[in-house]
Amino acid sequence: MTTQTSTPPETAAPRPHGVAQSRGLFDPQILRQATKEAFLKLDPRVQVRNPVMFVVLVGSIVSLAEAIGHPGTFTWSVTVWLFLTVVFANFAEAMAEGRGKAQADTLRRMRTETEARRLTPGGDEVRVSASEIGKDDLVVCETGDIIPSDGEIVEGVASVDESAITGESAPVIRESGGDRSAVTGGTRVLSDRIVVRITAERGQTFMDRMINLVEGASRQKTPNEIALTILLAALTVVFLPVVVALNPFGRYAGAAPAVVILVALLVCLIPTTIGALLSAIGIAGMDRLVQRNVLAMSGRAVEAAGDVQTLLLDKTGTITLGNRMAAAFLPVGGHDEAEVASAAQLASLADETPEGRSIVVLAKERFGLRERDLGDEHTFVPFTATTRMSGLDYGDRRIRKGAAEAVRRWVVEQGGAVPDDLAPVVDGVSRQGSTPLVVADGDEILGVIELKDVVKQGIRERFDQLRAVGIRTVMITGDNPLTAAAIAQEAGVDDFLAEATPETKMELIKAEQEGGRLVAMTGDGTNDAPALAQADVGVAMNTGTTAAKEAGNMVDLDSNPTKLIDIVEVGKQLLITRGALTTFSIANDVAKYFAIIPALFAATYPQLGALNIMGLHSPKTAVLSAVIFNALVIIALIPLALRGVRWKPSSATSILRRNLLIYGVGGVVVPFLFIKIIDLILTATGAY
């Protein structure tokens, strides 16, 4: 007998809050750390990874040299704001990273150094440090123990507190065998005794991977992000010789522009806004998934989620509530509903499944059947996968309920006959999307119990929204085709796969991918692992097996199959945010052209004065206003980059139209307004 003991205060792990604890956008701790990181990232070895901001840094250094050689208020002002442009870009990235690092620090505090009870080959227990535990070791965990590393239960069953991972305070049951045997290092055993075989190498536990992922240490640029970085670098390379060539042209025209002004022009011409925010957008996308308790093993997976065109969704627990409930008693062969209800309730008294309990409740509500006195001469017959029936032997009566074919066969073996009206009733229940259970008393079939699988409220509307953005939904179920078709029609999915097996899932995924579509699916069992690995976005449930979690490229810590729809929305939001801010960045360069180009050559070519449509006070205030706006707009857009542009399910044409209207037109109008305001402020100071 296991005795429950309390953990001493000095060794008790701090109460965890889960990886997805919410951090405010302007959390003081994150702000302080991000400010420090913004200056540390001025290291050229760091900046060279971002070609656009590296050019801005080099330009700032050139401007600094010019300010030292030819000091002046204007020169120093431009130099300071150019450096601040780089600092603000670093700050944006540091803010995005800081949120992840704060979560990683929380995880590190939860991962306490503890002792483990390792089993020797002879069966003895040896206490060792958890850091000494390696793959394939067997460890014993009892009430109050911290599970030292990831593994699978090979003996016993226990209640486990996984709040350190999921943030959920409710304990879960883990047991040997099946798909509920996986346990995670850092979680606590609340009751009973289990033997765990360690499946993770040292330093490669799930907690270690979580820490690396949420703090961004293992983040790799996604293909789209790399492509956009190349485009931004190309635009920078194009503008660089153009600006350099302005110096000899200016000398020829008798108005050689100052080096500081040329640097300012280059910085304002190249896409600094999106160059500064690009990394932050990608990091924030993964952070938004973490806040939904989903760990993406790579940024590529998050991006792929935004491009998904086919969703494979399990019926049970995703599209339906999962627990089938008794809805009706349907008599056959001349019997009445009360007979069916009475026999069905007797056969279900020992059935502790949700379906069994619902049959008992329905019989009680419909016919007042309660407190059945069975006496001593009765035996409950449990359900088995072989018989596919359960029931009760009560005196001379043998009552059974179960699958239609199994009960038919059992009745025939008893010498009875199958009523002619049974098949139409069974088929009718199946066509409605419900599950038929046949009830028999000895050699007589009394009727059918209709178990209704309830479709989740609002799920049809969500599928309609996904269809509007070109995403095809496919329901995966083990039900027969008739039942699957009825549920699919009620839920509003585009297609379904009935009587699904691991092989048919794989075939479906490959067929979709061969058609040029990206596929996302969820799974939790070892038999789901091949399909999870094949899918472009494979979301493994945290309650699933180790094989499933290793095969997928995302892990849902809440083990909620409907989370797949949220993951797609986060991916869409990431792509739209990147596109919106790219549009804004390119559009707001237009106003800078109208500010700086007239300032360069207006004295030599008075005709260029017509381009000064903002009526800026002087060439110096015009250049400085553009540079200041170029720096401040980065700070202004950080909240949008971190939170993401709001996404509403709509067609690609509608999204493009809204993007161009808000961020295209807005990107042109906003700079004109604020550059003029900055110019008025600079003019009022009288320094220029």
Share of the chain above pLDDT 90, in %: 30
456 — alpha (psi -120 to 50), left (phi > 0) or beta? Answer: beta
pLDDT at residue 245 is higher than 70: yes
Q: 526 falls in which pLDDT band (50, 70, 90)?
A: confident
pLDDT at residue 19 is higher than 70: no
Please report the pLDDT score of residue 224 as a whole number: 78
Q: 389: annotated binding-site residue?
A: yes
Please report the pLDDT score of residue 670 as a whole number: 92
Q: What is the pLDDT of residues 436-460, one digit of tens each?
A: 999 999 999 999 999 887 788 888 8
Least confident span in 160-169, 180-189, 222-231, 292-301: 160-169
- Tell me the pLDDT of the chain averaged across its residues: 83
Backbone angles phi, psi at 11, to 5 degrees: -110, -5
pLDDT at residue 611 is higher than 80: no
In terms of Cα–Cα distance, which of 98, 89, 90 is closest to 30? 98
pLDDT at residue 73 is higher than 60: yes
Residue 591 DSSP SS3: helix
pLDDT at residue 110 is higher than 60: no
Please report the pLDDT score of residue 6 as a whole number: 33
The C-alpha atoms of residue 642 and residue 279 are separated, in whole angstroms, by: 10
Please report the pLDDT score of residue 7 as a whole number: 35
Q: 164: annotated binding-site residue?
A: no
In terms of Cα–Cα distance, which of 248, 251, 319, 680 is closest to 475? 319
Q: 383: annotated binding-site residue?
A: yes
Mean pLDDT of 631-659: 87
- The more confidently predicted of residues 299 and 199 is 199
Residues 6+ apart with CB under 8 A from 403: 388, 389, 437, 438
Q: Hey, how many other C-beta atoms are within 10 angstroms of the C-beta on 378?
A: 15
* Catalytic annotation, residues: 314
Residues 6+ apart with CB under 8 A from 579: 659
- C-beta separation of 108 from 148 below 8 A: no
Q: 276 falls in which pLDDT band (50, 70, 90)?
A: very high
pLDDT at residue 13 is higher than 60: no
Please report the pLDDT score of residue 337 as a whole number: 94
- C-beta separation of 435 from 484 below 8 A: no
Determine how β-strand 519-523 pairs with β-strand 537-541: parallel
Q: 630 falls in which pLDDT band (50, 70, 90)?
A: very high
What is the maximal distance between C-alpha atoms in the chain? 117
Q: 524: annotated binding-site residue?
A: yes
The C-alpha atoms of residue 184 and residue 206 are separated, in whole angstroms, by: 7
pLDDT at residue 87 is higher than 90: yes
Q: What is the pLDDT of residues 305-356, one digit of tens each?
A: 888 899 998 887 678 776 678 999 999 989 999 999 999 999 998 887 878 8
> What burial class does residue 77 get, using C-beta atoms within 10 Å of its C-beta: 0-12 exposed, 13-18 middle, 19+ buried?
buried
The C-alpha atoms of residue 596 and residue 557 are separated, in whole angstroms, by: 52
Residues pairing with 520 in the sheet: 311, 537
Q: 528: annotated binding-site residue?
A: yes
- C-beta separation of 351 from 402 below 8 A: no
Q: 351: annotated binding-site residue?
A: yes
Please report the pLDDT score of residue 107 as a whole number: 58
- C-beta separation of 368 from 361 below 8 A: no
Q: 355: annotated binding-site residue?
A: yes
Please report the pLDDT score of residue 267 as a whole number: 92
Q: 199: annotated binding-site residue?
A: no
Q: Tokens 């699933």 — which residue?
A: 544
**Would you say the pTM of this structure is higher than 0.85?**
no
The C-alpha atoms of residue 483 and residue 449 are separated, in whole angstroms, by: 15
Q: 120: annotated binding-site residue?
A: no
Give the pair of three-digit tokens for residue 103: 């979560």
Q: Tokens 């089993």 — which residue?
A: 119
Mean pLDDT of 105-132: 74
| Amino acid (1-letter code) at residue 633 | V
The C-alpha atoms of residue 109 and residue 406 are separated, in whole angstroms, by: 55
Residue 476 DSSP SS3: strand
